[in-house]
Structure 1
Amino acid sequence: MTKFAKRGSAVLDAPEERYAPETGWPSREPAPAGMLQRGRMAADPNENPGPRSYDPAAEEEVYRPRRESLSYRLRLSVPRSLTGKIIVSTVALLGLGAIAIGYLAVRNALFHDDRFAITTSSEIQIVGNQRLSREQVLSVFGADLERNIFKVPLAERRADLERLPWVAHATVIRILPNSIRVSVTERTPVAFVRQGTQVGFVDAEGVLLDMPQEAAGDPQYSFPVLTGLSADDPLSARAARMEVYRRFMQELDSSGEHLTQSLSEIDLSNPEDVKALIASGSSDILVHFGDEDFLNRYRLFQQNLPQWKAQYPKLASVDARYEHQFVLEMESGAAVPLAGDGKTAAKPNGAAVAAKPATKPAAPKAAVKATAKPAGPKPKAKHPPAKAQKSNQKMFAALAAAHKATVANAHSGVASHTAGKQVKQ
Structure 2
Amino acid sequence: MAAASNPQTPRTRPRRRVRLLLPLLIVMAGLGGIGWHWASGLTCRQILVEGATHADEADLRRLAQVDTGAVLLDIDPEVVADRVRRHPWVAEAAVQRLPTGTVRIAVRERLPVALVLDERGRPSHYLDRDGFMMPVVSGAAYDVPVLHGVPEAYHPLRPLEHTPTRDLLAALAGLDAATHALVSELEWRDDGDWWLYTTPLPGGGSVPVRLGTASFAQRLHRLRAFWEQAVLTRPETQIRLIDLRFDSQIITRETSDQPSAVSR
> TM-score, length-normalised on structure 1?
0.43
Q: How big is the shift at 1:324?
A: 5.9
2:226 is aligned to 297
Q: Which moved more, 1:300-309 or 1:96-105?
A: 96-105
Q: How big is the shift at 1:279?
A: 4.2
Structure 1 distance, partners of 2:10, 2:193, is: 81
Q: 1:130 to 1:302 in 2, by over 3 A?
A: same
Tell me, yes or no, if the aligned pair for 2:181 and 2:199 is still in contact at 8 Å. no
From 175, 195, 209, the counterpart of 1:275: 195
Structure 1 distance, partners of 2:134, 2:151, is: 12
- The 5-angstrom pairing of residues 157-172 of structure 1 reads 157-172=80-95
From 93, 96, 112, the counterpart of 1:189: 112
Q: 1:74 to 1:298 in 2, by over 3 A?
A: farther
Q: 1:236 to 1:146 in 2, by over 3 A?
A: farther
Structure 2 distance, partners of 1:318, 1:188, is: 30
1:140 is aligned to 63
Structure 1 distance, partners of 2:27, 2:96, is: 31
Tell me, yes or no, if the aligned pair for 1:264 and 1:277 is still in contact at 8 Å. yes
Structure 2 distance, partners of 1:155, 1:244, is: 32
Tell me, yes or no, if the aligned pair for 2:132 and 2:160 is still in contact at 8 Å. no
State the secondary structure of the residue aligned to 2:44.
Answer: coil
Aligned length: 231
State the secondary structure of the residue aligned to 2:184.
Answer: strand
- The 5-angstrom pairing of residues 93-132 of structure 1 reads 106-111=35-40, 113=41, 116-119=42-45, 123-132=46-55
Unaligned regions of 5+ residues in structure 1, if any? 1-32, 35-71, 79-87, 310-314, 329-336, 340-352, 354-366, 372-425
Q: Cα deviations across residues 36-79 of structure 1 (Å, max 9, x unaligned)?
A: xxxxxxxxxxxxxxxxxxxxxxxxxxxxxxxxxxxx9469967x
Structure 2 distance, partners of 1:279, 1:326, is: 17
Structure 2 distance, partners of 1:154, 1:178, is: 14
1:212 is aligned to 137
**1:319 is the counterpart of 2:243:** yes
Q: 1:273 to 1:370 in 2, by over 3 A?
A: same
State the secondary structure of the residue aligned to 1:130.
Answer: coil
State the secondary structure of the residue aligned to 1:214.
Answer: coil
> TM-score, length-normalised on structure 2?
0.64
Tell me, yes or no, if the aligned pair for 2:113 and 2:172 is still in contact at 8 Å. no
Q: 1:226 to 1:106 in 2, by over 3 A?
A: same
Structure with the largest fraction of strand: 2
From 180, 184, 196, the counterpart of 1:264: 184
- The 5-angstrom pairing of residues 330-345 of structure 1 reads none
Q: How big is the shift at 1:163?
A: 3.5
CA-based RMSD: 4.4
Tell me, yes or no, if the aligned pair for 1:128 and 1:185 is still in contact at 8 Å. yes
From 146, 156, 161, the counterpart of 1:234: 161
Q: Cα deviations across residues 383-406 of structure 1 (Å, max 9, x unaligned)?
A: xxxxxxxxxxxxxxxxxxxxxxxx
Structure 2 distance, partners of 1:302, 1:99, is: 78
Letter in 2 for 1:277: Y
From 108, 125, 131, the counterpart of 1:200: 125
Structure with the largest fraction of helix: 1
Unaligned regions of 5+ residues in structure 2, if any? 3-8, 153-157
Q: How big is the shift at 1:131?
A: 1.9
Q: How big is the shift at 1:229?
A: 6.7
